Structure 1
Amino acid sequence: MIRAGVVGATGYAGAELVRLLSGHPCAELAAISSVSFQGKPLSEVYPAYYQLCDRICGTQEEVVEQSDVVFAALPHGLSQELAKECFEKGKVFIDLGADFRLENEEDYQEWYGGTYRYPELHEASVYALPELFREAIRGKKILANPGCYTTAVPLALAPALKNGLIQKEGILADCKSGVTGAGRKLTQNTHYPELNEGMSAYKVASHRHTPEMEQSLSRVAGSKVKITFVPHLLPVNRGILATCYAKLTDGVTMEQMQNAYREAYGEEYFIRLLPQGREADIKNVRYSNFCDISLHIDTRTNTFIAISAIDNMVKGAAGQAIQNMNLVFGFNETTGLKLFPPAF
């Protein structure tokens, strides 16, 4: 058994980590921390956990000392000092925030307004999207766990880009997110009367996840890729639906596209390629680590459409983090994550 700790356990991603780790056969939840609820049991914050996880929220220092792997479910800008402490003590550090996701410090400065305080730690870290960059993850101690949009969009487009089946210019990512993606802190647009019975775009062509998605897609394509990204907020708790559009390379057929995706993802447990005529739906991946992908071609306009659906709290956050933990410690990637989505 390895000892796992969660820093920021009372946020949505942190609480989801606790839920999933509590059922992991090879990991013990050793410690949790929270600034806002220090000294209180987690079940007081989330009554659903009553008598299932009544662990007291301690300090960040206690989590580091008592854990072999530390998950940080923190806002950007708060993980670098913690990563340094974990690295110096030989702990595995898995960051669910943005501090280690971007390769170029200039991009981090532009999009997040921060700097790389310990460049050597960024050199030692890895961007941990298993289905695309698995081999680079093994043996690493600092892992940047991708978020929701930055998982759904690259997984939807990677095989088409890698095989030159779509053009690199003019790619559009039209995405919808459940409200948990905004975090637990209340804001005006997540207030119930503002959110309910509505759907709106936000941060149009200016969302911080844009350079991260472009980084992954460029790495897969072998050259620079830029996308137009428009996120929308859905009045649901969970889910990311990414509808991605790209112009086909001349002469490409649906059969070629399907073959490319089967070759890329046919052995991937957590990616389900849907049969022709079925569209990816966030309802069918809730509470699971699956990414459903459906492929479509508009022959009238020579447009490829890839639709992916994930649960933003699982494959888009906590589940993927545990998948990465499994990779680092040599467990089967599916360990503790073979969860069926509910049928209704």
Structure 2
Amino acid sequence: MQRVIRSPLALLTLGLITTLAVWLWGMNGMAILERWAADGQRDTQNAMAGLLRRLKSGDGAALFALLGFCFAYGFFHAAGPGHGKVLIGGYGLGRRVPLGRLAGLALASSLAQAATAVALVYGGVFVLDWSRERLVATAEAWLAPLSYVLIGMVGLWLLLRGLRKLWTQRASPAGQESGEHAPSHAAHNHDHDNSHAHHHADAACASCGHKHGPTFEEAAEVRSLRDALVLIGAVAVRPCTGALFLLILTWRMGIDAIGIAGAFVMGLGTASITVLVAVLSVTARESTLAQIASGPATLRAMSLIEIAAGLLVVLVAAQLVSSAI
């Protein structure tokens, strides 16, 4: 028989995440969160402007306060609706990736976003001789839509990948999961009992040594540099507007190093939210799978979750693209 896991902690976690989703998308919570994040960004930006003037006048004590507000700005920036959270969350739901690895990707993508801002400002200023308006316009008019398109492509990849796996599972003979393949094993002179079939979906057959599917541990061990670069690049291609303003102001004031440090601290503030999203997405996925029978049922559930996550990312990306053009 298939084994069903019932974990009270998993049920509680899944219930809390479901409640949060209902509040965000069903009870106007997203609009409330967006207003709160916008107010926080405005207040921290005003505070940063005052601290920059103090630094320019020689008040070195203002440096740590400025970096603190840079972190706060990144936090508020990430707390509002954004593409980085959608991508990290969708990927965490759709792929059985270990939490530590996904959190590392979230951190790397946030820091890469800061690096893009630095490259855009100093490349635009020193190489292309662009004005502040041109730099910001480039980020908003070109890089933002490009980022959303790349995110949509990742979502489409998750969607198609899940559909392909589900189709493969449905197309394979039902007997492969129930022991009807015994005649082929008989050619190996194996003596099967009824319990033999129940292990095929998870590991190698104890009698014949054949593997009838990857184990969860093997799936979790899959590493792809390509996936990591795509995820990081899709987020990083669109730099934070607040980081652009900070870098431009500090360049004009002749305190470039402070601006660059502040941009990366903003990235850490952004990462504080994206890492949290990574934790929630992995927890939601594992809590859902924990309520489903192991074996073929779990494999089907993983495919369906991947399809749903990919579709969500595609829909959100399409909405972002339409609002940006």
Counting strand residues as a fraction of each chain, which structure ranks higher? 1
Q: Determine which structure has greater relative contact order: mean sequence separation of CA pairs < 8 Å that are 6+ residues apart, divided by chain length.
A: 2
TM range (shorter): under 0.3
Counting helix residues as a fraction of each chain, which structure ranks higher? 2
Q: TM-score scaled by structure 1? A: 0.24
Select the structure of larger CA radius of gyration. 2
